[in-house]
Structure 1
Amino acid sequence: MTGRIAACRFGVIMLRIFWWTTLIATAALAASLITMLTSDWPATWANGWPGWAIAVAITIIVESIIFWIGIITVYITSVQLGIKIRVIGVLCGWIPIANLIALRLIIRTVSEEVRFESAKERLDRSRAAARICATRYPVLLVHGVFFRDTKALNYWGRIPAELQRNGAVIYYGNHQSAASVPDAARELTDRIRQIVQTTGCGKVNVIAHSKGGLDMRYAIARCGAAPYVASLTTINTPHRGCGFADYLLEKIPLATQKQVESAYNAAASHLGDKQPDFMAAVHDLTQAGCARLNAEIGDSNELSGSASIAGPFAGIVCQSVGSKLAHATTGKFPLNFTYPLVKWFDGPNDGLVAQPSFPWGEHFTWLEPNGTRGISHADMIDLNRENIPGFDVREFYVQIVAALKQRGL
């Protein structure tokens, strides 16, 4: 068990002790008070109240110490509490009855986190020797639009660490946050060549999310990356564009678009982008933009994964993944609020991209877990570090990479 999970477990134990000892002590003190009030009261009260008052004071002090140790511990160490439950705990902490309900929610949430992470730890220990993600070629993770690869905020959440723990060697695309598909593709091709030349690995297994999948397809088809790519797995990529994006560009005034573009490009430049191009990235994500790209680089109908297929994708294992969000409220900001709009235009979707746009390559995986939550565009990269019931995103990536290893890649 990791130190963080051990601390979470300790915090939960302290809160459970607080819960039960507070109930027992409160009942005992209440019974004592009733006894004093219903007995020969003047004498009993005069003789017993000092001791009762001292017992109350000691109980309050001891229970307060237990509570604050427990609550501070879980607030510091828990990932699954999130901002919402933490705020609920603070706001309800001063309201009788509501504070007990909030405390039960905190205990239940952190207890489930301890159970889940402990089981995950046991699983990883049991298969450590097998190194199931130790592929022949390293894994290159390619981010989507409007994000960058940074150590402070890992775009891929807990996924890289889980892959590395199971034997994978990980690299990142390190390309700009917003650029046209051709420009991003050229950056990624240079990055892949640098990795191959520096390490001598020969090729890379690419896992690309969202627009990153379009960037990599273009890199392979038009920029010379093909000889250095063993496989390409696209995750929730809009291969045929986002219909609601076309609609928004038609409805939003051009002046407003220019203002947003200018503000974004200025901010991105300060954060490290050399030539950010907000509107070029947006236009390449529309259905019209993707239709142009697909006419230039080919669509999935031309692919079968067979090495006998001619063209730049010959010999490259190509596959895709897509997921369905159940409701906008069951996902988390920021990549869920457009769900109703996408559903109106394109049908079942992940909050940004609709089902018809996902499939590409020789194999397509559609993720639609049981329950009312679903899986959002952001969930697929573990952006919120949330343990989703019925879907372990870290294990999903482990199995993707393990399958590549089994194919000799």
Structure 2
Amino acid sequence: LVAYPDLAPAAAAGEPLVPVLESSQGEAAVVALEVPRSGEFALHVAPLDDEAGGTYDLELRCLSGCERETTRFPTVWVHGWTGFENIGPLEYFFGVRDHIEPLGYPLSVAVLDPYNSSEVRGGQLAEQVDEFMVEWRARKIDLIGHSQGGIDSRYVISTLGYGDRVSALLTIASPHHGTYITDLALGLAPGAAEEALSFLLNLLGAVTAQAKSDAKASFYSLSEAYMEGEFNPQNPDDPGVHYISYTGRTCAAIDFLDPKKMCNDYVDPLIVLGYDILKVARGPNDGLVTIESAMWGEFRGEMIADHIDEVGQIGGITDADFDHL
């Protein structure tokens, strides 16, 4: 009997992946098996009669599609603010699916509330991870989170106990130590709160009362006060998960007058105010998150990109020195 572990009972009842094999002890049997994706798979090999016992020597050989690239486990991509999988021709992770799927990489894209607390978004993500794992017949998955998506993923791993189902978490510009601009907007730090709040609400397109309420819940979830005072102590890293982080760094036009500050990326006009606020208060940043705050686990460095460029927006147009793919 050869079957996927979750289908072993049904296979024993007459629905195996391949016809039940009949061979005498010591004889070799050849099984041709076509799997639906690249990467790691678990197969259940057992005698039909549970009491029969048996030992097996297995040899695996790839016959077709052997050139396909893959990660060991499927990847689940988790968006940040105002996220989506598709809006018309636009994808949040612009062009990523079309670029890596043909190479062989199995991936799914989570669709969460555009903005809300990490507790709410994390619950939504956990439900979708369960569905993706069944869809991919995966023992584990890798999470890739941009911005708040990385914080939501940490919540799923630690608070919701998904460390046994997640092999690695890769975060891109996630504010692991909070982002000062949300503290400012909510009045948790002294300064121009009204200006910061208006900037963030306009950036997110939050115009209705409910949207503004959800947006403020998201802002609090990403504040320095909450991340350092509550979230990080309550969500320690799972020792069984590999944590990796990247982030972007951008500059304003005036920075190019000083070679020491020049970084070869012009901040997008949409987030230039965020860049200016963070630069003065906290230092180098990507327009919404500082480099220091984005560091978590194994930090692999900076990209020449602002927060929008990092995922190929808008519509795949990024600065000439940065190709997000």
TM-score normalised per structure 2: 0.66
Aligned-pair CA distance for 1:151: 4.7
Q: Hey, what does 2:275 align to over in structure 1?
A: 339
Specify the alignment match of 1:355 in structure 2: 291
Opposite residue 139 of structure 2, the aligned amino acid is: G
Deviation per CA, 1:314-335: give whole Å up to 9, x if none: 2212100012102268132424
Asked if 1 retains the 8 angstrom alpha-carbon contact of 2:83 and 2:111, the reply is no
What SS does the aligned partner of 2:105 have?
A: coil
Q: In the alignment, does 2:324 pair up with 1:393?
A: yes
CA distance in 1, matches of 2:72, 2:213: 34
1:315 corresponds to: 240
More strand by share: 2
Contact residue 328 and residue 339 of structure 1 kept, 8 A: no
Q: Which residue of 2 aligns with 1:264?
A: 206
Matches within 5 A, 1:48-197: 130-132=67-69, 134-152=70-88, 153-197=90-134
Cα distance in structure 1, aligned partners of 2:83 and 2:210: 9
Alignment of 1:252 onto 2:177: no
Deviation readout 1:98-134 (Å, 9 max, x if unpaired): xxxxxxxxxxxxxxxxxxxxxxxxxxxxxx97333x1
Q: 1:151 to 1:340 in 2, by over 3 A?
A: closer
Report how far residue 265 of structure 1 moved.
Answer: 7.0
Q: 1:247 to 1:151 in 2, by over 3 A?
A: closer
User: Which residue does 2:235 correspond to in 1?
Assistant: 297
Determine the structure 2 residue equivalent to 1:380: 310
Aligned partner of 1:288 among 218, 225, 247:
225
Structure 1 residue 341, shift from structure 2 partner = 1.0
**2:83 alignment partner, SS class:** coil
Deviation for aligned residue 1:240: 0.4
Match of 1:45 in 2: none
Partner of 2:18: none
Inter-partner Cα distance in structure 2 for 1:244 and 1:175: 23
What are structure 2's unaligned runs of at least 5 residues? 1-64, 255-265
Q: CA 1:227/1:268 → structure 2, altered by over 3 Å: closer, same or farther?
A: farther
TM-score by length of 1: 0.53
Indicate how the Cα distance of structure 1 residues 334 and 129 shifts in structure 2: closer, same or farther if over 3 A, else same. farther
Higher share in helix:
1
Q: Secondary structure, in 3 states, of the residue corresponding to 1:365?
A: strand
Following the alignment from structure 1 to structure 2, what is the Cα–Cα distance between the partners of residues 197 and 347? 43
Q: Matches of 1:199 and 1:388 in 2, distance apart?
A: 35
- Relative to structure 1, the CA distance from residue 389 to residue 264 in structure 2 (aligned partners, 3 Å threshold; closer, same or farther) is closer
2:156 paired residue number: 219
* C-alpha separation in 1, matches of 2:98 and 2:194: 43
Measure, in 2, the Cα distance between the counterparts of 1:162 and 1:280.
34
Q: CA deviation at 1:267?
A: 8.7
Matched with 1:365 is 300
Tell whether the 8 Å contact from 2:144 to 2:170 is kept in structure 1 after alignment. Answer: yes
Amino-acid identity (%): 24
Pick one of 223, 228, 251 that aligns with 2:165.
228
CA drift of 1:182 comes to: 1.1
CA shift at 1:223, angstroms?
A: 1.1
Tell me the distance in 2 between the aligned counterparts of 1:186 and 1:367: 30
When the two chains are superposed, the root-mean-square deviation of aligned CA atoms in Å is: 2.7
Distance 1:253 1:393, change over 3 A: closer
SS class of match (1:156): coil
- Report the counterpart of residue 261 of structure 2 in structure 1: none
Q: Aligned residue pairs: how many?
A: 238
Structure 1 residues 349 and 386: CA distance shift in structure 2, 3 A: same
Gaps of 5+ in 1: 1-127, 270-274, 304-312, 369-373, 395-409
Instruction: Return the offset for 1:276.
Output: 7.4
Secondary structure, counterpart of 2:219 in structure 1: helix
Secondary structure class of the residue paired with 1:356: helix
